[in-house]
Amino acid sequence: MAVYTEVTDEALRAFLADYSIGELLAFRGIAEGVENSNYALKTREGDYILTLYEKRVDPRQLPWFLNLMRHLVERGLSAPMPVPGRDGAALRALAGRPAAICTFLAGVWPRRVRAAHCGPLGAALAELHLAGADYTAVRPNGLGVAAWAPLLEACRADGEGVQPGLIAELDGLLSDILAEWPAQDALPVGQIHADLFPDNVFFLEEDGRPYVSGLIDFYFACTELLAYDVAVCLNAWCFEADRSFNVTKARALLREYSARRPLSDAERAALPVLCRGAAIRFLLTRLYDWVNTPKGAMVTRKDPLEYLYKLRFFALANSPEAIGA
């Protein structure tokens, strides 16, 4: 369920009067996604996506995200382009929520990730990092390394109910990660997506080969270590259903990324701890939602233990070679 705020036909038509995108022909809610309310719009001018930003998104941060998306598209990245209204503003209000319209991207996200997806993904990730190099506005990573200990503390009382011994294990794993984490000035920093899971990457095919047709959902984007974004993708794309790490997928991802933006020796050496950091970040946010979301709330809870298995793998695979780098 990803339509938390209902929009009436009358309210939408009044909203669209402030745009020059043609008469509304049809709209429907989009079921995928968990953070915001999304609608597909069809007008006489084409297809668009309307997003209403829900309470988990800080409205003060929205101009940064929308300006980043515009910047990336202007640099040639295939991403949603915010559509301005007649007054030039892309961010507006609808049904009591901040709202924006973006261009529609063709493609589908892969329900079953293959190695053939991972090379194009790596290339697209590198292109994102290069396109964002001259976007100078800074947004700190609110779910970065400084947030992990407070998140774990917030889960301490109820985390044992998820799995006995979980909190003690995470205490030890997090302590090791923090001790090894590279300084912010030790590795290249730039604008990262920070949430580039398969459902945020659209693909099309040409001659039977998948290629990336678009990257979406930039609402966790931030200014962070570029190689951390690579580590997020290694977590999200390179594990199989049986929890095994697919090094072939990892090599394809890293090869195509490095063909466009070569990883430095320091970045390559740091990848194992960055992968552990990415794993514990998603474990902790899932765990927080798991123990703090009231029953019946319209938030999709995801299993935190999926990332415990990934974290354990990366804790043992402590060399770049072990993860395909």
**Domain end position, chosen among 103, 124, 145:** 103
Q: What's the rounded Cα separation, in Å, for the pair 280 and 159?
A: 14
Residue ranges, the chain, pLDDT below 70: 1-4, 32-34, 293-301
Residues 27-60: b if buried by 16+ CB within 10 A, e if exposed:
bebeeebbbbbbbebebeeeebbbbbbbeebeee
φ, ψ for residue 321, nearest 5 deg: -60, -35
Q: Cα dihedral angle (181, 182, 185, 189), rounded to 10 degrees?
A: -80
Q: Are residues 57 and 152 both part of a single domain?
A: no
Q: Based on the structure, what is the number of domains in the chain?
A: 2
Could you tell me if residue 287 is inside a domain?
A: yes
Q: Are residues 87 and 132 both part of a single domain?
A: no
**Domain end position, chosen among 70, 103, 136:** 103
Q: What is the CA radius of gyration of the chain?
A: 20
3 state DSSP class of 30: coil
pLDDT score at 161:
86
Q: Are residues 158 and 96 both part of a single domain?
A: no
pLDDT score at 1:
40
pLDDT score at 258:
98
Residues 139-176: b if buried by 16+ CB within 10 A, e if exposed:
eebebbbeebeebbeebeeebeebeeebbeebeebbee
Q: What's the rounded Cα separation, in Å, for the pair 193 and 71?
A: 14
**Domain end position, chosen among 75, 103, 131:** 103
CA-to-CA dists, residue 193 to 62, 143, 227, 241, 291, angstroms: 14, 12, 11, 24, 26
Q: Are residues 56 and 130 both part of a single domain?
A: no
Q: Are residues 142 and 70 both part of a single domain?
A: no
Q: Are residues 195 and 316 both part of a single domain?
A: yes
Could you tell me if residue 2 is inside a domain?
A: no
Could you tell me if residue 160 is inside a domain?
A: yes
Name residue 116's amino acid.
A
Could you tell me if residue 3 is inside a domain?
A: no
Domain that holds residue 137: 115-323
For residue 276, give the CATH number of its domain. 3.90.1200.10
Strands 201-206 and 209-215: antiparallel
Residues 61-113 have pLDDT tens digits of 999 999 999 999 999 999 999 999 999 999 999 988 999 999 999 999 999 99
Could you tell me if residue 60 is inside a domain?
A: yes
Q: Are residues 165 and 47 both part of a single domain?
A: no
Contact present, 113 and 57 (Cβ < 8 Å): no
Q: Are residues 150 and 272 both part of a single domain?
A: yes
For residue 58, give the CATH number of its domain. 3.30.200.20
Q: Are residues 240 and 300 both part of a single domain?
A: yes
Could you tell me if residue 1 is inside a domain?
A: no
196 CB-contact burial (10 Å; exposed 0-12 / middle 13-18 / buried 19+):
buried
pLDDT score at 2:
53
Q: Are residues 289 and 142 both part of a single domain?
A: yes
pLDDT score at 318:
83
Contact present, 98 and 62 (Cβ < 8 Å): yes
Q: Are residues 311 and 195 both part of a single domain?
A: yes
Q: Are residues 298 and 243 both part of a single domain?
A: yes
